[in-house]
Amino acid sequence: MQCSFCSIDQDLPFTCSYCKMVLCSSHRLPEKHDCIQLHTVHSHRDIEYLNPQRISNTRSFDSKINQLLSSESRHLLLGMILVLLVGISFFFVNFGGSYPVWTVLVLSIILMGSFLIHEMSHKFIALKNGFNAEFRVNSFGLFLTFLSIFPIPFKIIAPGAVVISGSPSKKILGQIALSGPFSNIVLGFISIIILFWSSLSSEWQSILSTAAFINGFLATFNLLPFSIIDGKKVFDWNKIIWFVFFFISISFILIVSYNI
């Protein structure tokens, strides 16, 4: 397996506990591979000092996940399966009485596809700017997403994220973060265009309107300027650009909710 930082082949690679990159022995430390989570390293080390067993167990589990899945395609496949199952659970519980089974399945596939395009948009822009990027699941996100498969009131879809190697500037990091919500806005508008410019059955009209709402919600939620969400990176880069796209996403979801 190649080191994500220097591309040297390694028989026994290391996995960064913070950004989940696969690394050689020379670049295994966060400071040596320009870890994108470097700003949290010291605070996490303080926590580890206070509760070393808990942190050690979490890192060990994440390392086992990476060793088991090994390739990006497996990480992505696991994430997509979990998102699909969450979609089936959500649409069946909330609309199972009014939607036929095939409609529930189609909507779940649309949710999974929207998630996939969102994440791959991050990767595409990162690669375009010269940075290696791979989707990686993480233990906490997997746990929350797995819980959401069950009929609980609040669903969380966060099985993993695209991990970027190197140290992109605040501008590039903001552009990479914005690409995900932007893709959902585009998908939502495409759904609306097809809905209004095609003669479709009532079932497909319902599917397209729900698809538009799904993507509007994903864009809005991911543009919230908090924590590790995309919106925080966009906000830190350019507050005007963040406001414009957040306003667009909010307006889009309100218009979709009111008119469809």
103 domain residue, yes or no: yes
**Model pLDDT, residue 166:** 76
**Number of domains, the chain:** 2
Based on the domain organization, do 214 and 195 belong to the same domain?
yes
Owning domain of residue 236:
72-259
**Worst-scoring range by mean pLDDT, 65-69, 111-115, 132-136, 207-211?**
65-69
pLDDT tier for residue 4 given thresholds of 50, 70 and 90? confident
Per the model's pLDDT, the better-predicted residue between 148 and 96 turns out to be: 148
9 domain residue, yes or no: no
Smallest CA-to-CA distance from 169 within 238, 89, 78 is with 238
Alpha carbon distance 253, 245 (integer Å) = 12
Based on the domain organization, do 148 and 233 belong to the same domain?
yes
**Could you say which of 45, 69, 93 is where a domain stops?**
69
Could you give the C-alpha distances from 212 to 47, 112, 118, 165, in angstroms and in order?
42, 14, 14, 33
pLDDT at residue 38 tops 70: no
Based on the domain organization, do 64 and 76 belong to the same domain?
no
Please give the average per-residue pLDDT across 22-35, as a whole number.
70
Based on the domain organization, do 229 and 140 belong to the same domain?
yes
pLDDT at residue 75 tops 50: yes
Per the model's pLDDT, the better-predicted residue between 182 and 198 turns out to be: 182
pLDDT at residue 126 tops 60: yes
Based on the domain organization, do 61 and 186 belong to the same domain?
no
Alpha carbon distance 77, 197 (integer Å) = 34
Based on the domain organization, do 49 and 129 belong to the same domain?
no
pLDDT at residue 101 tops 90: no
Q: What is the mean pLDDT of the chain?
A: 82
**Could you say which of 35, 52, 69 is where a domain stops?**
69
pLDDT tier for residue 47 given thresholds of 50, 70 and 90? very low
Based on the domain organization, do 18 and 90 belong to the same domain?
no
pLDDT at residue 18 tops 90: no
Please write down the HEC assignment for all residues of the chain.
Answer: CECCCCCCECCCCEECCCCCCEECHHHCCHHHCCCCCHHHHHHHHHHHHHCHHHHHHHHHHHHHHHHHHCCHHHHHHHHHHHHHHHHHHHHHHHHCCCCCHHHHHHHHHHHHHHHHHHHHHHHHHHHHCCCCEEEEECHHHHHHHHHCCCCCCCCCCCCEEEEECCCCCHHHHHHHHHHHHHHHHHHHHHHHHHHHHCCCCHHHHHHHHHHHHHHHHHHHHHCCCCCCCHHHHHHHHCHHHHHHHHHHHHHHHHHHHHHC
Based on the domain organization, do 251 and 214 belong to the same domain?
yes
Could you tell me how far CA 253 lies from the centroid of its own chain?
20
CB 197 within 8 A of CB 171: no
pLDDT tier for residue 94 given thresholds of 50, 70 and 90? confident
The fraction of the chain above a pLDDT of 90, given in percent, is 44
pLDDT tier for residue 66 given thresholds of 50, 70 and 90? low
Give the gyration radius of the chain's Cα atoms. Answer: 20
**Model pLDDT, residue 73:** 85
**Model pLDDT, residue 53:** 47
pLDDT tier for residue 201 given thresholds of 50, 70 and 90? confident
Based on the domain organization, do 96 and 31 belong to the same domain?
no
6 domain residue, yes or no: no
Smallest CA-to-CA distance from 164 within 129, 205, 196, 192 is with 129
Could you tell me how far CA 101 lies from the centroid of its own chain?
27
Alpha carbon distance 101, 97 (integer Å) = 9
The residue type of 23 is L
Based on the domain organization, do 32 and 61 belong to the same domain?
yes
Most confident of 22-36, 160-174, 246-260: 160-174
165 domain residue, yes or no: yes
231 domain residue, yes or no: yes
**Model pLDDT, residue 36:** 63
